[in-house]
Amino acid sequence: MTMEAELREKIATLTRIFAMRGLLGIHGHISAFDAETGRIYMCPGFAWDKATTQPGDLFVFDLKGNILEGQGRRVPIEWPIHTAIHSRRPEVGAIGHLHSPYATAFAAVNQEFRPVLLQGSMFANGVPIFPERHLITTPDLGERVADVVGGGRAALLRNHGTVIAASNPEELLFVSMILEDTARAAVEAAALGQLDFLEPEDMPANEGARLADRAQAAWKYFATLEARWDRQPPIGSVALG
Amino acid sequence: MTMEAELREKIATLTRIFAMRGLLGIHGHISAFDAETGRIYMCPGFAWDKATTQPGDLFVFDLKGNILEGQGRRVPIEWPIHTAIHSRRPEVGAIGHLHSPYATAFAAVNQEFRPVLLQGSMFANGVPIFPERHLITTPDLGERVADVVGGGRAALLRNHGTVIAASNPEELLFVSMILEDTARAAVEAAALGQLDFLEPEDMPANEGARLADRAQAAWKYFATLEARWDRQPPIGSVALG
Amino acid sequence: MTMEAELREKIATLTRIFAMRGLLGIHGHISAFDAETGRIYMCPGFAWDKATTQPGDLFVFDLKGNILEGQGRRVPIEWPIHTAIHSRRPEVGAIGHLHSPYATAFAAVNQEFRPVLLQGSMFANGVPIFPERHLITTPDLGERVADVVGGGRAALLRNHGTVIAASNPEELLFVSMILEDTARAAVEAAALGQLDFLEPEDMPANEGARLADRAQAAWKYFATLEARWDRQPPIGSVALG
Amino acid sequence: MTMEAELREKIATLTRIFAMRGLLGIHGHISAFDAETGRIYMCPGFAWDKATTQPGDLFVFDLKGNILEGQGRRVPIEWPIHTAIHSRRPEVGAIGHLHSPYATAFAAVNQEFRPVLLQGSMFANGVPIFPERHLITTPDLGERVADVVGGGRAALLRNHGTVIAASNPEELLFVSMILEDTARAAVEAAALGQLDFLEPEDMPANEGARLADRAQAAWKYFATLEARWDRQPPIGSVALG
């Protein structure tokens, strides 16, 4: 398989997995970057039926934000998040802009995310928050988001959602799910008392290696679930998407 | 397709979409208005199986509340909401009276709704609340609700539910879902700290044009989901409906 | 259909509807009473697969708690709730002992239930709470629960669940769902601020007649949903049952 | 059936039931112990598709943590929990390390679990919490967890999850579900006011006998549900797993 075919396949699969888990919402989008060709593969934007996305459905952007393929589909208008981070961090192979409901709850109270579970120890140093109330629709805004993400794995966008920067689609999946699930645990536990947040010293020494290993296993697992998903819409008043 | 056929088709589809998302509850109802003929097309009321509604199932009211078609089905007793607003606002093509659970949570603490997410910026000026504890079963009550809605898109009904006034069924869908989802985010985030509400200056300048565009895309998306819905009832203790 | 056939049919259907909605839990049970014969028809107890209950599966008790039919199935050990109330209130045709999660939340903080939604106006005078921490496994305990229920429609059992006393199975369904859904609204809204409870003067004058009418419509609706239910178990960590 | 065949069958079934209920999460695992042979049967670990686990999929450990069978599958790295407790408590036939979301909420605020429902009376003396923030990946850590569990049925692991020690797989299922569901009730009720916890004197005198009886009935019930489960993945942002 060519690199393009592989990235298209993975972004399409990941788009469907995120749709299954309710992490994209109606507004989110994800991308993978081929550093050799400078091409960014990105799922369509607002109100696209992400649960059925196929490799041929993706947009191709260059690093300046020009659309090379995909005309006629709904443009993911916050593409500057992707171009800004892919431009400055060649080690980042995949980026997600998610409206995952629980991580976004921290963004709705304008608090830095801190983990309350060991599974979230990769975030023991916290997750910064982008403080401006704007959709990220211009290169300037994209640069300022990239400044907040810095060399890290994630940022919250105030009153808005999240950005995840990962080595590859497999890590994008796992990091995103850990962030969301750890946020869910915080929201549910907060009713019981003072949250008991991890401290920076709880960051494992070998976090990167552990992540690479677990991300591959988690990818295989969620791809299996996605393959048997009946693609029924959520019932009742769940998060938009 | 005639205007009547089109409005019937859209209200039936929207009734099913709202049933899928749990936004109507067992008590809610929606309508579309044909300004040329003065006819209001409205889904049946209490305990109607809204998930299977077809165009031929609708009631037809005139602006005085006379039932022109639909006799024998369960009357939506709060029809004065619809007649009052359709009578005074010809630009309103579709109205919903929803018992959507999260927006109604604000009505259960008697607080004006304020958005905590950018997606809800159309409500940055707030959503007024109708302060009387009554079902809206008389023309007088309908008029007073219409006074609170004013020229706006929505109102809460104290201890009761919501009213949404939109240009057409597509916008009724999108506005309703944005209100509910933004309310859901507020309820979930409130456990974490002080909610960080948008301010009036966060209202986008071109909100109306953006809404028209997004509402069309969202309609297509949710109609796709509804078409593949297996119509299974919700399991477990979810909101009534 | 004989009265016995009719009551068996209705209790079996209602058991399945309650299972669908997660209102019985693994511990709850419901009954109907035939005043002419003094026979009580009751669904089996703990861990019975209530989602598939048929008319022939029911226990028959007399008012003294003797088991006339049903030997070999799991006895609903809190039958004294049913015998005590059916003995003293001939107008009560159906009783439920539910572990519905949200109404039970009030019992877990030992607070009288008060409605925050107009749909719950039948409880505008409040719902009393039985203050003893015991399963209701003896006639004496049953009498004391019946004392707390009094002439009313419902009581909470502290740290335990609910009791609903209704004219017939249709009203048992509707009253139970209104209590649970109104409790759900309170739990969700409580994060936003001070709950805005109804007052006794919000009780409608003609509550009984309205209930009888709405209960018939709601029964038809939920029986329709139950008939198309695929009987899949709840997924994820939902209330026990 | 041999003891090995029976234990393999039960652990596979229980793994699927726990997957159905969302109690294992992506990280949890369970085991059964054959005291005669000293063999521990344990489901695979991280990201294994637990919803489809069969008897032949299990690992076999000895009490020193040597893997006797299962090479090539994903090792449950917290096996020292199992070996430590099985080594010192021959009456414990089955152990679970769960990431059940609501019980874990107590571990995220570092509070001892206390029951708010009569169904949780087996925990009326409280559930101790292991205070160290570590995955239990060494025999030393396993011993310290076993110290906290002591002769009891359960412990919380701070910022992490739970450990349940039961006589057999049937009791492991029931005890785990009671702990989780009682925790769920506490999380939901906490919004309404001060939780009304049971006291030690609310522990029934014959708790052990009652548990044995109810666990068998609950096992039959949940195995019936599992057998008809369509194995669809959870939709939306639910607990990881």
Residue D233 gets which letter from DSSP?
Answer: P
Q: Which of B192, B217, B220 sits opposite A105 (nearest CB)?
A: B192
Query: In chain D, which residue's Cα lies nearest the Cα of A221?
Result: D47
Confirm if D145 and D75 have CB atoms less than 8 A apart: no
Angle between helix axes C79-88 and C139-149 (nearest 10 degrees) is: 60
Q: Give burial (CB, 10 Å; 0-12/13-18/19+) of A206.
A: exposed
Query: In chain B, which residue's Cα lies nearest the Cα of A50?
Result: B221
Q: Which of A109, A135, A186 sits opposite B195 (nearest CB)?
A: A109
| C205-227 mean pLDDT | 94
Q: Which of B47, B104, B109 sits opposite C221 (nearest CB)?
A: B47
Could you report the per-residue pLDDT of D184-202, keeping only the tens digit for each?
999 999 999 999 999 999 9
- Of B143, B188, C165, D196, nearest in space to A106 by CA: B188
pLDDT of residue C204: 86
Would the pLDDT of C22 be above 90?
A: yes
Neighbours of chain D (3+ CB pairs under 8 A): A, C
- Alpha carbon distance, N-terminus to C-terminus of chain C: 32
| B154-171 mean pLDDT | 98
Asked if the Cβ–Cβ distance from A237 to B117 is below 8 Å, we say no
Asked if the Cβ–Cβ distance from C229 to B233 is below 8 Å, we say yes
Strand duo D129-130 + D154-157: pairing = parallel
B185 vs C: CB within 8 A: no
Query: In chain B, which residue's Cα lies nearest the Cα of C18?
Result: B236
- Of B240, D207, A63, nearest in space to C221 by CA: B240
Residues of chain A with pLDDT under 70: 241
Q: Which of residues 219-238 of C touch B (CB under 8 A)?
A: 220-221, 224-226, 228-230, 232-234, 238
Q: Which CATH class for the C3-227 domain?
A: alpha beta
A196 vs D: CB within 8 A: yes
Q: Is the ipTM of this complex over 0.90?
A: yes
- Alpha carbon distance, N-terminus to C-terminus of chain D: 32
| C159-178 mean pLDDT | 98
Measured in angstroms, the CA of C195 and the nearest CA of chain D are apart by 9
Q: Which residues of B touch A184 (CB under 8 A)?
A: none
Give residue C235's pLDDT band: very low, low, confident or very high (50, 70, 90): confident
Measured in angstroms, the CA of A157 and the nearest CA of chain D are apart by 19
Would the pLDDT of B206 be above 90?
A: no
B73 vs C: CB within 8 A: no
Give residue C207's pLDDT band: very low, low, confident or very high (50, 70, 90): confident
Residue B233 gets which letter from DSSP?
Answer: P
- Of A189, A51, A26, nearest in space to D233 by CA: A51
CA D202 vs CA B156, C69, C104, C213, C240: distances in Å: 45, 33, 18, 43, 21
In the numeric block, the tokens 């019946």 are attached to: C146
B108 vs C: CB within 8 A: yes
DSSP-derived 3-state class of residue D211 = helix
Who's near C75: CB < 8 A, 6+ residues apart?
C44, C45, C59, C67
B22 vs C: CB within 8 A: no
The CA distance from C19 to C98, in Å, is 10
Q: Which of C188, C195, C232 sits opposite B187 (nearest CB)?
A: C188
**Domain positions in chain D:** 3-227
Structure-token pair, residue B70: 């639909």
Residue spans of alpha helices (H) in C34-138: 79-88, 101-108
How many Cβ pairs within 8 Å bridge chains C and D?
Answer: 111
pLDDT of residue A241: 65
Would the pLDDT of C144 be above 80?
A: yes
Mutate which of C179, C192, C219, C231 to disrupt the B interface (most B C-beta within 10 Å)?
C192
The CA distance from C194 to A154, in Å, is 35
Would the pLDDT of B241 be above 80?
A: no
D54 vs A: CB within 8 A: no
Structure-token pair, residue B93: 């093509």
Q: Which residues of B touch A231 (CB under 8 A)?
A: 228
Asked if the Cβ–Cβ distance from A101 to D160 is below 8 Å, we say no
Neighbours of chain C (3+ CB pairs under 8 A): B, D
Would the pLDDT of D182 be above 80?
A: yes
Would the pLDDT of B237 be above 80?
A: no
Could you report the per-residue pLDDT of B76-118, keeping only the tens digit for each?
999 999 999 999 999 999 999 999 999 999 999 999 999 999 9
Asked if the Cβ–Cβ distance from C196 to B74 is below 8 Å, we say no
Q: Which residues of D touch A119 (CB under 8 A)?
A: 27, 99, 240
D181 vs C: CB within 8 A: yes
Asked if the Cβ–Cβ distance from D231 to A230 is below 8 Å, we say no
Mean residue pLDDT of chain B comes to: 96
Would the pLDDT of B61 be above 90?
A: yes
DSSP-derived 3-state class of residue D96 = strand
Could you report the per-residue pLDDT of C25-73, keeping only the tens digit for each?
899 999 999 999 999 999 999 999 999 999 999 999 999 999 999 988 9
Mean residue pLDDT of chain C comes to: 96
Q: Which of A26, A108, A133 sits opposite B218 (nearest CB)?
A: A26
Asked if the Cβ–Cβ distance from C116 to B108 is below 8 Å, we say yes
